[in-house]
Amino acid sequence: MPESFIELLPELWVAIGQTFTMLGIGLSAAVFIGGPLGVLLFLLSPGQSLAHKPSYLVLSWIVNTVRSFPFIILMVALVPFTRLVAGTSIGPLAAAVPLSVAAIPYLARLVEQTLREVPRGVIEAAHAMGASEWQIVWRVLVLEARSGLILALTVLAVSFLSYSAIAGVVGGGGIGDLAIRYGYYRFETDIMLVTVALLIVIVQIIQFGGNAIAHRLDKR
């Protein structure tokens, strides 16, 4: 193992912690805000129990607008908001703000699409038995689509791991920042290869774990 890499180990551990901090905050925001938003989009869409076309079009437009921003541009555009929320525009906590803003509509759309796969007959049967909208959401939609929802969250986690690397390059810290500072600016190819290999391992773990959980929850 190269001496330079051994000397870099303490900083590598810090970078890994920063990456998981950014990813954890972003995914939490997506689950607690983007998840309900996706359910609301589904319920407001044409043909559903709470169908309301104007509201659906407005929410859908907002989701599509935020998703259309390249992440690096979104980070710059949200600098004033980031300073307001995090008190700074640099560091992993600051980078987690635009990550969260990007993750919320991303997961919302994935949740909406996943819920559309729930058989309509199951929903209609629940309505016929007098179930409330809240009961239908939790005991029918989420229960029937739980495997797909786990896969959607897995896709989000893998995608936003790369986003966290981008955030690191512009002052967010993390593995991406480490790769650029050492692997690119200092031409230490071994460091670049190690960080890339580390990202690949993390992606494989996330994907394998998500697939395993989804398979276990799949009722089919």
Banded pLDDT at 220 (limits 50, 70, 90): low
Asked if residues 30 and 111 have their Cβ atoms less than 8 Å apart, the reply is no
- Mean pLDDT, residues 173-191 taken together: 77
Domain locations in the chain as residue ranges: 3-217
- How many whole angstroms separate alpha carbon 98 and alpha carbon 86? 11
- What does the DSSP 8-state code read for residue 70? -
Q: Pick from 35, 21, 160: which is nearest to 94 by CA?
A: 21
Residue 92, judged by CB atoms within 10 A of its CB (0-12, 13-18, 19+), counts as buried
| pLDDT of the residue at 1 | 44
pLDDT mean across residues, the chain:
86
Residue 195, judged by CB atoms within 10 A of its CB (0-12, 13-18, 19+), counts as buried
| pLDDT of the residue at 123 | 83
Lowest mean pLDDT among 18-32, 129-143, 161-175: 161-175
| pLDDT of the residue at 171 | 66
- Mean pLDDT, residues 155-171 taken together: 82
- Mean pLDDT, residues 2-13 taken together: 70
CATH match for 3-217 among 1.10.3720.10, 3.40.50.620, 1.20.840.10, 3.30.460.10:
1.10.3720.10
156 token code pair: 């989000």
Tokens 């896969």 label which residue? 151
The pTM of this model reads 0.88
Banded pLDDT at 4 (limits 50, 70, 90): low
Lowest mean pLDDT among 37-46, 169-178, 211-220: 169-178
Q: Return left, alpha or beta for 130; rule: phi > 0 is left, psi -120 to 50 is alpha, else beta.
A: left
